[in-house]
């Protein structure tokens, strides 16, 4: 009997064609995340699983699938939904999709930044509400980016792509993270490494590009927000729980910081209600990688990882390597 691959939610057909080179493919047809029980039932007997960021992959998942399971390919660069040690110690490879979504996510991050600094969402809401308006020199003034400092927390692929866009807008680049970037990256971006507190104190824009870990959960909390400039803007396109949303809503209401732009949320798909009525926040429903080209490339990379493992080869992008 041939090997079987389960895809937990619909993916572009190009990725399914790649999978069919190595296995029988079953794509779950529901238009929602599977419940935990449904997920475990769906993957029973699978040799490979193409998973989504909302699927919880842990020891119970592996046991539900069975001893024949060889690989779980996450269609995301982040893998906080996976208990990697629990899965890999059972002999199952774990892969993700880094690199292919960097440009699209950086585009989205910069677009959200422009939305909040130039009040684009607020302006569109004004027009759609048919509120009377007229042009004058003080009308809906925002703030420019030229000469301002972009502080990046996590100068990986997405952070570097964002920095390149920011430099084209005349911004200065500062960054922080677990370690310094290579000298050639700092030179290319004219980026300066700062301790996190100093970056928060001095940056005009703080953009989050770090993975979600126990160390980064609520990295931006009430104390961090108080450290930022009152004119500063926070951008989050990483993972929602990196930010304490209740503290952020209060900071935005109180003027502790000037604005925020969010593509991800702490209890996704729910959004902290306190954020929804604020004009100084731009919101998007997790659209960072949402281009046809990028989502197709992500799914195809996940599929190629599965095909490689089932064929006895090393995966292209294994987590932890």
Contact present, 206 and 151 (Cβ < 8 Å) = yes
Out of 239, 245, 272, 300, the active site residue is: 239
pLDDT, position 77:
94
| Percent of the chain predicted with pLDDT > 70 | 99
Averaged pLDDT score across all residues of the chain? 97
pLDDT value of residue 320? 74
Q: Of 172, 188, 286, 318, which one is the catalytic site residue?
A: 286
Query: Which domains can be identified in the chain, with CATH numbers?
Result: 4-98+292-310 (3.40.50.720), 102-283 (3.40.50.720)
**pTM greater than 0.85 (yes/no):** yes
Name the percent of the chain lying above pLDDT 90.
Answer: 98
What is the rounded distance in angstroms from the CA atom of residue 216 to the CA atom of residue 303?
30
The active-site residue out of 188, 250, 268, 318 is 268
C-beta separation of 41 from 7 below 8 A = no
- Give pLDDT tens digits for 200-243: 999 999 999 999 999 999 999 999 999 999 999 999 999 999 99
Place of tokens 């300066």: 192
239 is catalytic: yes
291-308 per-position pLDDT tens digit: 999 999 999 999 999 999
Q: Which residues contact 192 (CB under 8 A, 6 or more apart)?
A: 172, 173, 174, 175, 186
286 given a catalytic annotation: yes
- Is 268 considered catalytic here? yes
**CA–CA distance, 208 with 78 (Å, rounded to integer):** 13
Q: Residue 59 in contact with residue 88, Cβ under 8 Å?
A: no
Calculate mean pLDDT across residues 124-150: 97
What's the CA gap between 278 and 122, in Å, rounded?
9
Task: Report which of residues 271 and 31 the model is more confident about.
Answer: 271
């Amino acid at each position: 009997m041939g090997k079987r691959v389960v895809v937990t939610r619909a993916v572009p057909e190009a990725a399914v064609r790649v999978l069919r080179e190595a296995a029988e493919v079953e794509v779950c047809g529901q238009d929602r995340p599977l419940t935990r029980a449904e997920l475990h039932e769906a993957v029973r007997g699978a040799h490979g699983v193409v998973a989504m960021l909302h699927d919880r992959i842990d020891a119970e998942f592996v046991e539900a699938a069975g001893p024949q399971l060889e690989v779980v390919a996450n269609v995301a660069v982040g893998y906080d939904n996976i208990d990697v040690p629990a899965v890999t110690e059972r002999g199952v490879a774990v892969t993700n999709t880094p690199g292919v979504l960097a440009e699209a996510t950086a585009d989205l991050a910069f677009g959200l930044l422009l939305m909040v600094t130039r009040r684009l969402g607020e302006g569109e809401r004004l027009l759609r509400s048919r509120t009377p308006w007229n042009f004058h020199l003080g009308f809906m003034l925002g703030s420019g980016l030229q000469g301002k400092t972009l502080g990046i927390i996590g100068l990986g692929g997405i952070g570097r792509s964002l920095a390149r866009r920011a430099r084209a807008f005349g911004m200065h680049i500062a960054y922080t993270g677990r370690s310094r970037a290579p000298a050639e990256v700092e030179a290319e971006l004219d980026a300066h490494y700062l301790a996190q507190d100093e970056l928060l104190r001095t940056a005009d824009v703080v953009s989050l590009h770090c993975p979600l870990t126990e160390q980064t959960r609520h990295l931006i909390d009430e104390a961090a927000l108080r450290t930022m400039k009152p004119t500063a803007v926070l951008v989050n396109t990483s993972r929602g729980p990196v930010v304490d949303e209740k503290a952020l809503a209060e900071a935005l209401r109180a003027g502790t910081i000037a604005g925020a732009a969010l593509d991800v949320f702490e209890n996704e798909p729910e959004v902290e209600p306190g954020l929804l009525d604020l004009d100084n926040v731009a919101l998007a429903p997790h659209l960072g990688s949402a281009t046809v080209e990028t989502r197709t490339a992500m799914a195809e990379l996940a599929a190629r990882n599965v095909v490689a493992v089932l064929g006895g080869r090393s995966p292209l992008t294994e987590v932890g390597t």
